[in-house]
Every structure is written in structure tokens, then in C-alpha cells.
Amino acid sequence: MYIVMITPECAPVAKVGGLGDVVQGLSREMGTRGNAVEVILPKYDCMRYDRIWNLHRTYRDLWVPYHDQGVHCDVYFGFVDGLKCFFIDTHSSHHFFNRGTFYGHNDDPERFAFFSRAALEFMLKANKHPEVIHCHDWQTALAPVLLFDLYKPMGMSHPRVCYTLHNLKHQGVTGEQTLRQVGLNPAHYMTQERLQDNFNHRAINLMKGGIVYSNFVTTVSPRYAEEIKYSDLGYGLQRTLHVHGVKFGGVLNGVDYNVWNPEIDPHISCQYTIETLHDKYKNKETLRNRLWMHQGFKPMIAVISRLDHQKGVGLIRHGIFYALEKGCQFVLLGSSSDPATNNDFLELKHHLNDNPDCHLEIGYDEELAHLIYAGADMIVVPSAFEPCGLTQMIAMKYGTVPIVRGVGGLADTVFDADYASKSYHERNGYVFHDFDNEGLESAMKRAIGLWHDYPQFFRELMANGMRCDYSWNHPGRHYLNIYNYIKE
């Protein structure tokens, strides 16, 4: 099958969070299964160019209709870890993708609406006729709308669209001018059945358009699929998901075990397996040395996360102090797109600077993340909500025990050591429910207690996590079924 991903992110070149990992992992899995996969991305100035092989201009002078004129683009091609990627480079005074950051600009809806149109224009001009186009999140939600209303009449009648919702909190709610700019007549779309926002009837909702116009809609875990349909985690799209319920379902994300795997990870100091689990501790030593932390007999608790309300920043903060009070070490790797939150954590870092049991790294560091997954004993994920969450699944692969709040994909993947209705060998972490300090403490206390008092049982929990198969194998099969279903 010929599959094209239209996406704002693809790890490792353009990654803000899990979306980037998912596009990379799913694309590679589809390729391994014998499909032809291509990825179309914006050519951001802030990408990891060192991770693109043989980048060169492959298509010159692509004129993309915008307003009443056209924007001049070129398309570049390169391999990213073996994946075929096309990068749309725009030459315009808007500097759409030359802003130094991926997101966070007032005109984000316009930037990505333009990208969606440019991706389709490129496919049309370059004569690409994939069987399936897979779009991701609000940024590319206009692609199915443009495909079925503008490009189909121009001859692109072939492709079917699968659309994945990675996070309902961000829907791309914007003014109708965004549609007009990319050549769509707003009057046609300003209805409840189409793109009109369910809260603000004067706004359009790009994500809603993606749901309405795609042939199949997925989200990133079965639990989250239920949550967004039946609770206010749908942020207003509950009714739309009900109306389109027959073409909607949750598929748990996978983890790319070619990238996240302690047996082959080049970024860690000592590779290990379940059989050589004692070698994990060499990574703990390396991590401590690298971060100037004390070497001693203490459990190491980690957080690797965007610092956002969704991720439970208040609880993360509390968790740091609780862990230190209980005689543990704590490492945090995180950053926020909100400067005030970054500053709060920088102040906290300053406050804890002299503590040899604690290190806060405020920023984004892919390589350090690998070493933390390998070196830590436990990872904390106290999310307010979590569509899927990759950090708990990656951590388990590294034998790092997750302590999570039982929501969304966290509830689908972590099973409590004491209370899960699963057999012992399927229990792999600690789960709490109340979104408050006491809730978090209740789970951390049990985890720390087991580490100290029953190390043998703690090691079993680590091994249970390592044995879980959260690779792309199962989700890859699900997605292939979906692609085949919509193709027919």
C-alpha cells in the first residue's frame, strides 16, 4: 500500500512531544510491513538538520494558492532514519516556518492551514496518488477538507484519509478568514454539521473539520477514546464524535523499539536486557556523574515531560519535595512553551542547586532523556489527562517502574502492583486516581517502600514492565486494518 503521512512533527527531526514519536514509529512499522511510506512536513528552520541524510531540493517552484495570489515554495527531500521525508519550504514574507520554534505563534492556524494546502498541492503537481493519506492533529485537519472539496475535482479522487487525534485540548479554533486564505468559501463550512465550532458559533474548528471529512478517525488509546466521547475531556467535540461514532476508535500508540531499547541504545553507558538487569545500575552511576549527583544507596525518581498543566506541574513539583523528604534522589528533564512556567522551574532549580540528590534540567535534550530512562528506578507521570503517554511505556522497556495517574493511555498500560485486577506477572507499576498531593504520595510511598523493603519484588515489577510488548507490532496491525477498511 502507498501511504503518505501529512504531519507537523516527525521524530527526531521535528519533535515537540509524542506526536513526533508516533509518526516516526508508525511510518517505520508500515514500511517494515512492506508498504511504501512517505512523510510530508514543513521545512522548519529549527529542525535537527544533522539527523536528515542527503537533504536536497527535489521540486522547484511549487506555487501554492494563498489569498488571491500564490506563495512560492520549494520541496526538499531527505531520509530521516531511513524514512522518506519531504519538507515544504515557503518563500514568503510571512516566514511561516522560519520562526525559531515549531508552535506558539498567533497565526499558528494560518501557518498550518497553509501547510495543509501546500502538501496537497505538492501531491497533485508531483503526481502522487497514495491509497491512504494519514493526517495528524489540528495542524493538518484541513487536508481532508481540501482534498474532498478542492482536490478531488482536480483529479485526486483516489486517496482515503485516516485522521488521528493526539490531543483534544488543542483544536485549532480560528476565524473564518483561515478558510478563505486557503481557497475555501467560509459560508459553505459555517454549519454545525461541518466546521462551525461547537462553543463559539462565529469561529471555525479545524479539528472538527478533520473529524467530519475523514474516512476514519482514531485517537491514541482506547480509554481516551471513551473519555473524549463521554466527558468534558472532549473539549466540546463530544457530540461530533458521537455523530461520527461509526468511523471512530482508539488505537494505543506504540513505542519504536529500534529507538527506545536498552539492548541497543547508543546513548546509554551500558546496554542491558532482563537477564543482565544489574547493568542498568551502571547507567544510574553515569547519570549521577553527569549531573553531579551523589552516589549512594537511594532510589532515583525521574520526570521527563513537557511542563504543562496537562502533565500535572503542581504535582510534579510536590513529587520532587516528597521524594527528597523520603530520602530519594530526583531528576527532572522538562520544558514549557510558557516562559512563566519555565521561570518557576528555573527558580526551583536555583533553590535546590546545592542538593546533591536533585537535578532539574530545564530544556529539551533527546540524548539525556535516553540516559534518564536507563538510569532511573521510577518515573512519575501525574497527568491531569493523558491521551496515551509514551514516557511510561518507554520507561517500562528500560525497567524503570512507572508511577502514574490512572487516566487515558496511562490507565491502559500501567497496572498497579497492589490493586490491579491482573495476575501478578502482569502488574508493572503504581497507579493513583485523585489529582492531588495525597493521591500522588499514596502511590510514591508504596513504590519507595517496595524498593527499600522488598528489592526482589521490586525487580520483578521491573521485569514485568520490560516484558510488556508496547511495540508498534499490535497498533501497526490495527492501522493496517483501518487503512484496508477505508480503501474498500
Which of residues 21 and 110 has its CB atom nearest to ligand ADP in the complex? 21
* Among 333, 396, 403, 461, contact with ligand ADP (rule: CB under 6 A): 333
Backbone angles phi, psi at 78, to 5 degrees: -165, 165
Contact segment (CB under 6 A) with ligand ADP among 36-44, 143-151, 345-353, 363-371 equals 363-371
Contact segment (CB under 6 A) with ligand ADP among 13-21, 39-47, 271-279, 440-448 equals 13-21
Using CB under 6 A as the criterion, what x/- string covers residues 126-145 for binding ligand ADP? --------------------
* Amino acid present at 407: V
Kindly state the smallest distance separating residue 375's Cβ from ligand ADP, in Å.
14
Q: What is the DSSP letter of 418?
A: T
DSSP string of 244-287, one letter each residue: TGGGEEE------TTTS-TTT-TTSSS---STTGGGHHHHHHHH
- The reply on whether position 364 binds ligand ADP by CB under 6 A is yes
Q: Which residue has the cell 523528604?
A: 325
* Among 62, 64, 141, 304, contact with ligand ADP (rule: CB under 6 A): 304
Contact segment (CB under 6 A) with ligand ADP among 57-65, 191-199, 288-296, 385-393 equals 385-393
338 burial class (0-12, 13-18, 19+ CB within 10 angstroms)?
A: middle
Kindly state the smallest distance separating residue 208's Cβ from ligand ADP, in Å.
21
- The reply on whether position 334 binds ligand ADP by CB under 6 A is yes
* Among 171, 391, 413, 464, contact with ligand ADP (rule: CB under 6 A): 391
* Among 320, 390, 440, 447, contact with ligand ADP (rule: CB under 6 A): 390
State which residue has the least CB distance to ligand ADP.
18
Kindly state the smallest distance separating residue 253's Cβ from ligand ADP, in Å.
7
Instruction: With CB under 6 A as the rule, give the number of residues binding ligand ADP.
Output: 18
- The reply on whether position 171 binds ligand ADP by CB under 6 A is no
Site residues for ligand ADP, window 104-123 (CB under 6 A)?
A: none
* Among 347, 365, 434, 469, contact with ligand ADP (rule: CB under 6 A): 365
Backbone angles phi, psi at 126, to 5 degrees: -90, 5
- The reply on whether position 389 binds ligand ADP by CB under 6 A is yes
Kindly state the smallest distance separating residue 290's Cβ from ligand ADP, in Å.
15
Which of residues 182 and 313 has its CB atom nearest to ligand ADP in the complex? 313
Q: Does residue 357 contact residue 293 with C-beta atoms inside 8 Å?
A: yes
* Among 140, 215, 305, 329, contact with ligand ADP (rule: CB under 6 A): 305
Q: Which residue has the cell 461541518?
A: 194
C-alpha separations of 14 from 33, 120, 158 in Å: 24, 20, 29
Enumerate residues 6+ apart whose C-beta is below 8 A from 54: 78, 79
Which of residues 306 and 309 has its CB atom nearest to ligand ADP in the complex? 306
C-alpha separations of 236 from 2, 165, 200, 242 in Å: 34, 14, 10, 11
Distance from C-alpha of 43 to C-alpha of 89, rounded to nearest angstrom: 5
Question: Interior CA angle at 49 toward 47 and 50, to 5°?
Answer: 130
Q: Which residue has the cell 551502571?
A: 282
- The reply on whether position 234 binds ligand ADP by CB under 6 A is no
Nearest Cα to Cα of residue 267 among 281, 286, 293, 288 = 286
Kindly state the smallest distance separating residue 364's Cβ from ligand ADP, in Å.
4
Distance from C-alpha of 131 to C-alpha of 211, rounded to nearest angstrom: 19
* Amino acid present at 452: H
Which of residues 367 and 488 has its CB atom nearest to ligand ADP in the complex? 367
Distance from C-alpha of 140 to C-alpha of 188, rounded to nearest angstrom: 20
Q: Which residue has the cell 508516533?
A: 22
Which of residues 133 and 404 has its CB atom nearest to ligand ADP in the complex? 404
241 burial class (0-12, 13-18, 19+ CB within 10 angstroms)?
A: buried
Kindly state the smallest distance separating residue 469's Cβ from ligand ADP, in Å.
18
- The reply on whether position 103 binds ligand ADP by CB under 6 A is no
Kindly state the smallest distance separating residue 387's Cβ from ligand ADP, in Å.
7
- The reply on whether position 379 binds ligand ADP by CB under 6 A is no
Using CB under 6 A as the criterion, what x/- string covers residues 16-45 for binding ligand ADP? -xxx-x------------------------
Contact segment (CB under 6 A) with ligand ADP among 25-33, 181-189, 222-230, 384-392 equals 384-392
Backbone angles phi, psi at 158, to 5 degrees: -80, -50
Contact segment (CB under 6 A) with ligand ADP among 28-36, 193-201, 288-296, 359-367 equals 359-367
Grid coordinates belonging to 100: 525559531
CA 393 and chain centroid, separation:
12
Name the helix (H) or strand (E) containing 219. strand 216-219
Which of residues 115 and 345 has its CB atom nearest to ligand ADP in the complex? 345
DSSP string of 425-486, one letter each residue: GG--BEEE-SSSHHHHHHHHHHHHHHHHH-HHHHHHHHHHHHH---SSHHHHHHHHHHHHHH
Per CB under 6 A, residues contacting ligand ADP are: 17-19, 21, 304-306, 333-335, 364-366, 369, 388-391
